[in-house]
């Protein structure tokens, strides 16, 4: 009987200790990188990986660790920092999880958004959220954490960007760029593009760059250069063949050099270039480059490798010249990398 009582006491002590440990979230340092791992669709195994640039330490499933074991949800799509909060779009869970940037503990969530994709911020009280299936654009208040209204789009919206008081959104279903007035939310103009416009960036001269993957019916990829003052197309850079792919776009810290994912690696070009680059800056080799980000101050390049979409992926860290500095395991299907400040 004494042995039984002693055994029960040990179990009680260890269970209490486990509960206490779950309630003490791991703090983040000042230069923190968060990797968004999508996870497998309908499996609910999305996660966040925390990477320390200084000592190269890695913490897996940081959201789950810092939120009493609760997983973040199904398919982490994107995230953006607004003030001291990180807004994480969890696509198939139909929500935006809002986290404290100091330790990634959950503050609240904006629920029932159908299939949200990306967030673009106007100010502290207004932001837009694109959606895959809703045929609408959500307008949210980041301060009050609520949906204010919706805007009819009649199709799938992906990435968006704001400049000159206008919202530029990639309308995938119609193969168009839509331009909205951010004050009135009215559509000002629609510009036809190649097939599947998905990614957009605004450079140092307020020129909008839009990549069209051209994947439907074997169409060619293309890169559109759009003057946001006149909203006229300055040039269209088209791949030499259907094998030349233009995917995700990112600008460097000075916004004068554009990077994009191609079918065989990461490409780079000056924003004044008149032609597309012929060869990648960082070759893919036998890896599966899935997403990438450029550090806003160091210009270091982080590229994710989804491997086979089943096992845990890898993130590679390069200097701006393309020399590898580090590589580390992350979660399943790492899709994006966020730099907190």
Half-sphere exposure of 36 (CA within 13 A, CB side): 26
The per-residue pLDDT for range 297-312, each reduced to its tens digit, is 999 999 999 999 999 9
Q: How far is CA 177 from CA 130, 213, 323, in A?
A: 14, 14, 36
Residues 48, 272: Cα–Cα separation, whole Å: 36
The per-residue pLDDT for range 199-239, each reduced to its tens digit, is 999 999 999 999 999 976 778 999 999 999 999 999 999 98
* CA-closest candidate to residue 143, choices 168, 106, 108, 194: 108
Phi, psi for 321 (deg, rounded to 5): -80, -15
Beta-bridge partners for 287: none
Which domains can be identified in the chain, with CATH numbers? Answer: 125-285 (2.130.10.10)
Residues 304, 316: Cα–Cα separation, whole Å: 6
According to the model, what pLDDT value does residue 43 have? 97
Strands of 146-152's sheet in order across? 116-123, 126-131, 136-141, 146-152
According to the model, what pLDDT value does residue 316 have? 98
- Could you tell me if 223 and 237 are in contact, meaning their C-beta atoms sit under 8 angstroms apart? yes
The per-residue pLDDT for range 23-50, each reduced to its tens digit, is 578 878 666 899 999 999 999 999 999 9
Residues 214, 260: Cα–Cα separation, whole Å: 15
- Could you tell me if 210 and 184 are in contact, meaning their C-beta atoms sit under 8 angstroms apart? no
Half-sphere exposure of 203 (CA within 13 A, CB side): 19
Q: How far is CA 212 from CA 135, 203, 230, 309, in A?
A: 20, 17, 21, 24
SS3 87: strand
The one-digit pLDDT tens for each residue of the chain (341 residues) are 333 333 333 333 333 434 444 457 887 866 689 999 999 999 999 999 999 999 999 999 999 999 999 999 999 999 999 999 999 999 999 999 999 999 999 999 999 899 999 999 999 999 999 999 999 999 999 999 999 999 999 999 999 999 999 999 999 999 999 999 999 999 999 999 999 999 999 999 999 999 999 976 778 999 999 999 999 999 999 988 889 999 999 999 999 999 999 999 999 999 999 999 999 999 999 999 999 999 999 999 999 999 999 999 999 999 999 999 999 999 999 999 999 98
Contacting residues for 204 by C-beta, under 8 A, at least 6 apart: 254, 255, 256, 271
Residues 45, 35: Cα–Cα separation, whole Å: 14
Contacting residues for 63 by C-beta, under 8 A, at least 6 apart: 47, 48, 70, 71, 72, 97, 99, 104, 106
């Amino acid at each position: 009987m004494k042995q039984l009582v002693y055994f029960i006491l040990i179990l009680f002590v260890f269970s209490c200790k486990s509960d206490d440990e779950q309630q003490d979230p791991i703090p983040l340092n000042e230069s923190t990188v968060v990797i968004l791992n999508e996870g497998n669709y309908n499996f609910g195994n999305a996660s966040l990986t925390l990477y320390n640039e200084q000592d190269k330490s890695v913490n897996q499933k940081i959201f789950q660790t810092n939120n009493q074991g609760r997983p973040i949800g199904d398919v982490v799509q994107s995230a953006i920092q607004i003030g001291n909060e990180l807004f994480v779009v969890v696509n198939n869970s139909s929500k935006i999880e809002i986290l404290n940037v100091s330790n990634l503990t959950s503050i609240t969530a904006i629920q029932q958004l159908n299939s949200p994709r990306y967030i673009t911020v106007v100010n502290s009280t207004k932001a837009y959220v694109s959606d895959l299936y809703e045929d609408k654009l959500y307008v949210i208040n980041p301060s009050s954490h609520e949906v204010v209204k919706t805007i009819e789009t009649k199709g799938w919206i992906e990435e968006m960007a704001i400049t000159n008081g206008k919202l530029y959104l990639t309308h995938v279903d119609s193969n168009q760029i839509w331009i909205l007035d951010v004050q009135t939310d009215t559509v000002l103009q629609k510009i036809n593009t190649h097939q599947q416009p998905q990614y957009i960036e605004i450079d140092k001269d307020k020129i909008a760059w839009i990549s069209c993957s051209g994947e439907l019916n074997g169409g060619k990829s293309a890169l559109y250069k759009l003057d946001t003052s006149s909203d006229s197309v300055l040039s269209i850079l088209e791949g030499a063949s259907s094998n030349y792919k233009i995917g995700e776009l990112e600008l460097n810290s000075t916004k004068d050099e554009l990077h994009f994912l191609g079918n065989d690696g990461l490409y780079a070009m000056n924003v004044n270039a008149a032609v597309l680059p012929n060869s990648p800056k960082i070759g893919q080799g036998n890896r599966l480059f899935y997403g990438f980000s450029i550090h806003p101050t160091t210009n270091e390049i982080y590229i994710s490798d989804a491997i086979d979409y089943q096992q845990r992926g890898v993130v590679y860290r390069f200097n701006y010249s393309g020399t590898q500095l580090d590589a580390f395991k992350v979660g399943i299907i790492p899709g994006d990398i966020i730099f907190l400040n």
